[in-house]
Amino acid sequence: MGVEFIIGAVVVVVFIILCWWISTLNGLKKTQVKIEEASSGIDVALTKRYDVLTKMVQIAKSYAKFEKETILEAVKLRKGMTITEKNEAAAAMGEVQKSLNFLAENYPQLHANENYRQLQVAVMDVEEHLQGARRAYNSNVSTLNQKVVTFPTSIVAGVSGITRQAFFEAESEKRADVKMDLDI
């Protein structure tokens, strides 16, 4: 009974460790999939933002000569962007939005245009979706990063090559205080 019991106990312990390992690895993989899904959500929101801003530029062009190509190049989106590249694209589109708002202030008839106003509302809606997508992404990254650095999950992550992910961060200019120039 002694040798058979020891062999049986070792098999049970190895089986339990194997089940834990597989369960932990699956949890890490699921979190990675959630990060990919959230990243895709950011892509969708950035694409929608791009489309809405493009429409706003088209309307603005009917009221003033506007260099559409320059703006569109600044906000061009491509598949497979890293989070850093998405941050840069988001910053570029923020600049486009500022330019459009400035243009609308200089051309009151543009600002009064119903289509333009509807698109401004759409931009605000897209911005809210984009913020939500960023929050979801960062939440999932936080979950993965916590798992990757926590023992004993860190062992499974290290052996599997799963590493910490970068957070989607706000552009540095949006973290600073807003400086309002009200000179008329």
CATH number at residue 114: 1.20.1440.20
Report yes or no on 180 lying in a domain: no
Report yes or no on 27 lying in a domain: no
Inform me whether the pLDDT recorded for 75 exceeds 90.
Answer: no
Report yes or no on 51 lying in a domain: yes
Inform me whether the pLDDT recorded for 30 exceeds 70.
Answer: yes
Between CA 68 and CA 61 the distance in angstroms is 8
Question: What phi-psi label fits residue 119: left (phi over 0), alpha (psi between -120 and 50 degrees) or beta?
Answer: alpha
Asked if 134 and 42 touch (Cβ cutoff 8 Å), the reply is yes
Report yes or no on 24 lying in a domain: no
Inform me whether the pLDDT recorded for 164 exceeds 90.
Answer: yes
Q: Which of the four pLDDT bands, split at 50, 70 and 90, describes residue 114?
A: low
Choose between 9 and 94: higher pLDDT. Answer: 9
Q: Which of the four pLDDT bands, split at 50, 70 and 90, describes residue 66?
A: very low
Q: For residue 182, what pLDDT is reported?
A: 36
The pTM of the whole model exceeds 0.85:
no
Report yes or no on 63 lying in a domain: yes
Report yes or no on 3 lying in a domain: no
Report yes or no on 171 lying in a domain: no
Q: For residue 73, what pLDDT is reported?
A: 56
Choose between 182 and 121: higher pLDDT. Answer: 121
H helices present in 75-179, as ranges: 83-106, 108-112, 114-149, 153-160, 172-175
Host domain of residue 84: 33-135
Taking residues 115-138, report their average pLDDT.
83
Inform me whether the pLDDT recorded for 105 exceeds 90.
Answer: no
How many domains are contained in the chain? 1
Question: Position 70: which residue type?
Answer: T
Report yes or no on 160 lying in a domain: no
Instruction: Write the CB contacts of 60 (distance below 8 Å, at least 6 apart in sequence).
Output: 66, 100, 103, 104, 107, 110, 116
